[in-house]
Amino acid sequence: MKQIKSPFKWRHFEPTVILLCVRWYCRYHLSYRDVEEMMRERGLDVDHSTVFRWVQRYAPEINKRIRPHLKMSGTSYRVDETYIKVGKTCKYLYRAVDKEGQTIEFMLSARRDVSAAKRFFKKIMRAEHRRLPFSISVDKNAAYPEAFSTSQVEKIVPKDCKLRRVKYLNNVIEQDHRFVKKKVRASQCFKSFHTAERTLEGIEAVNMMRKGQVKRLAVSDAQGQAKFVASLFHLAA
C-alpha cells in the first residue's frame, strides 16, 4: 500500500500547533505578530515570519480539503466584487453566495472587466458544492451582462439561468463581505498578489466553517471545528 506523504514533513513544530496558528490567523482579526505573542504565552517560541509561511502553505490546503465536506448551495446566486489592497494598488475579490449567504466561490483578480467576470462564472460552475443556478443577481457593473451572455453561448452557464440586476438583492453578499474586509484590515495590506490570493483562500475557507456550511458541524461548535480541520489532515486534535 502506497504511503501518503505528510504535508508537515520537515516542520519543526507539531502539525496541530501549525494548524492552530493558521486557523486562528484566518478566523480572527489578528496580525502575524499577535499570533506570535499568543503562542509565546503558551511557551512556544514561534516567529511571526514562520506563521506567515505556514499560512501561505496550509491556508490553500485547508480550502482544497474542505470542499468535499460542504453542504450543497442554493440555486439563486448573488455575485459581487470588493476591493482588496495589494501593495499600493487595489485588486478585486469576486465573491458568490446563495440567497442564504452561503459561500459558493471566490476569486482574486487584478482587473474588473468582462474577462475577469467570465473567468469567475467559469470558476463558480466548477465548484463541487454548487447546484445549477436558476438566477444570478449582480450589481450595475457593465461587465456582467456581456460576460453572462457569452458564458451562456459557451455553455458555461445554463441557458435557462436569468441575470438579475437588482441592487437590493445583493444586500446579502455586501453584508457577507464584512467578515473578509475586517480580517484584511487587521492584516493591514498584502505585499503581493500571490500572498493575497493564498491568504484569502484560508480566510474564505474558515468563513465557510463559521457560517455552518460544513456538513454535520454546528456553527457554535468551536471544538468541533478545530477537530474537523485536524481531521482534514488525518490528525487527532
Q: What is the per-residue pLDDT for 4?
A: 63
Cα distance between residue 132 and residue 52, in whole Å: 37
- How much is the pLDDT for 5? 75
Apex 108 CA angle, 95 and 53, nearest 5: 120
Return the residue matching grid coordinates 496541530: 16
Neighbouring C-alpha atoms within 13 Å toward the C-beta of 193: 10
Query: Within a 10 A sphere around the Cβ of 41, how many other Cβ atoms?
Result: 7
pLDDT at residue 237, as a whole number? 61
What pLDDT was estimated at residue 138?
96
> Which pLDDT does position 11 carry in this prediction?
86
> Are residues 84 and 92 in contact, defined by beta-carbon separation less than 8 angstroms?
yes
Give pLDDT tens digits along the chain (237 positions).
455 678 898 888 999 999 999 999 999 999 999 999 999 999 999 999 999 999 999 999 999 999 999 999 999 999 999 999 999 899 999 999 999 999 999 999 999 999 999 999 999 999 999 999 999 999 989 999 999 999 999 999 999 999 999 888 899 999 999 999 999 888 777 999 999 999 999 999 999 999 999 999 999 899 999 999 999 999 976
231 φ/ψ angles, rounded to the nearest 5 degrees: -65, -25
pLDDT at 186: 82
Domain ranges in the chain are 15-69+192-232, 76-179
In the prediction, which pLDDT does 2 show?
53
Tell me, what's the pLDDT at 3? 56
- The answer to whether domain 76-179 has CATH 3.30.70.20 is no
Cα–Cα distance measured from residue 214 to residue 222, given in angstroms and rounded to the nearest whole number: 13
| Full-model pTM | 0.94
